[in-house]
Structure 1
Amino acid sequence: MEARSFDGIVEALRAAVPVLHGAEIPFLLGGSMAVWAYGGPEPINDLDLMVRPQDAERAQQALVDAGFRAEDPPEEWLLKAWHDDVLVDLIFGPRGVPIDDAVIARGNERSIAAIRLRVMALEDVLTSKLLALDEHQLDMAYLLQLVRAVREQVDWDEVRRRTGDWPYAAAFLTLVDRLGISDAGAPSDFRARREPANG
């Protein structure tokens, strides 16, 4: 996908959040933008908003009514809407982390670009990203950038428990351990130890 500017993604976020709040649709900021909210690198592709399956069509319609352009993708686990040249993915079925009330409740309230919203828990973000790795999508370099930036906030034992049976995730976690990025064997209460840099 062609890279978008970070400022454009922030503007899309600023446009989408009040629409979804106004429609009373529960959602989370997800994907690389969620990692940024915890102190990760600025994303330059699309914007991921996580919604429950029963809310996805209503969320897309609310955005369309607010001036976004709808797109119906071939994938069965998300819907799409465009804000100018920024693609907003409305994701309801990421691999390994189906979006439900429990996932939304695990999110953390943050103020981002002067907007208050919930951000997907880091362990949920990383679980979905690691379980999406396969022979066709194996960009471990970018994942390493993400986890290096937020490593002290991650409950690595939890991520390992949830993804270790997937061979691509196990390979990545071995790499993370060998590079000294993870805190393998350390106490697992990492999220309470440090405030996110952008929170």
Structure 2
Amino acid sequence: MIAAKDPTSLVVPDALFLAIGRVSIASAELETELRSFLEELFGWCHPSVLLLEGQNFEWLTGHIRLLLNWHANDPEAGRFGYSPIREHILAALDLMGPLREQRNLVVHGVWRTREYCELKPGRGEPPDGCIGRPFGGNDDDETFHLVRSRQRPKAFPPNQHWAITDVFNLASQLAIAHACFRSAWRRPKESDNASGGGAPTTG
């Protein structure tokens, strides 16, 4: 017996494909920046490159935090042992975490029509089966139901309404987080070189 077609299956609009692609590209660029920073911390060498290649976001950010905390206020750690610079980097990492979870939901989740939460009782939270849009938005926007069977951490529900504009917004937020992180760890080095060395500044 052939199973009946799910009435909530979505014919994915081209604009949604484009938006998801932008999220994927933005997150890949962000991970590349994280690897570049770790190469700087490790000291560039072939063994470090082999270690970093293929590692995921959680591994990269976790080891950045570990190494920054390890070298806190260590004069031999250069500018990364300097507290204000380290705190700017850690703040940028804090900005990335929730965006990464949203990225995982968008890229790995299953897209359904909004009626999914009405036809599948018991999923998610009342009144309509899932939580609202991640960034708010215009009520006139067409929204979809996005579900992921396995979501970590538990603070991020696996059922949520998303509009195409939300996905584009997520891509923009990932790009902003990338720029904040890049600024936090690269600009002090450029400032040091321009001034001929000395104590790093955050201004």
Q: Which has the higher contact order (CA 8 A, sep 6+)?
A: 2
Determine which structure has more spread, i.e. the larger CA radius of gyration.
2
User: Relative to total residues, which structure has the larger strand share, 1 or 2?
Assistant: 1
Q: TM-score, normalised by structure 1?
A: 0.24
User: Relative to total residues, which structure has the larger helix share, 1 or 2?
Assistant: 2
Q: TM-score, normalised by structure 2?
A: 0.23
